[in-house]
Amino acid sequence: MKIDRSLPHWPQLADEIRRRIQDGTYPAGGRLPGTVALAAEFDVSQSTASRALSHLRSEGLVYVVSGQGYYVSD
């Protein structure tokens, strides 16, 4: 997936992560790539990746384990 530079970046990234969760690329209970890896893969800033993950957390799709990262909710 390539980020459309004419639109806000974090919602696009959140949508792609959501799609990957739904199709099983990121399975329930599995650890998600960190902000550095997501930022590099999608050519966005780490703060953009962090905002996308925070949004998915607010939706209940992912949860965070302090010091370990984000995981897909069951």
Q: Does position 1 have pLDDT exceeding 90, yes or no?
A: no
Residue 20 lies inside a defined structural domain of this protein: yes
- Residue 17 belongs to domain with CATH number: 1.10.10.10
In a domain, 25, yes or no: yes
User: Residue 52: inside a domain, yes or no?
Assistant: yes
Q: How many CB atoms lie within 10 A of CB 12?
A: 19
Tell me how many domains the chain contains: 1
- pLDDT category of residue 29 using cuts at 50, 70 and 90: very high
DSSP H helices in 6-64: 9-22, 35-42, 46-59
Predicted confidence (pLDDT) per residue in 9-20, tens digit: 999 999 999 999
Contact residues for 18 (Cβ-Cβ < 8 A; gap 6+) = 56, 61
pLDDT band at 22 (very low <50, low <70, confident <90, very high): very high
The predicted pLDDT at position 13 comes to 98
Structural domain including 29 reads 9-72
Name the token pair of 48: 């953009």
Identify the pLDDT of residue 42.
Answer: 96
Q: Determine, yes or no, domain membership for 46.
A: yes
As a 3-state breakdown, the chain gives helix, strand, coil percent values, each rounded to 5, of 50, 10, 40
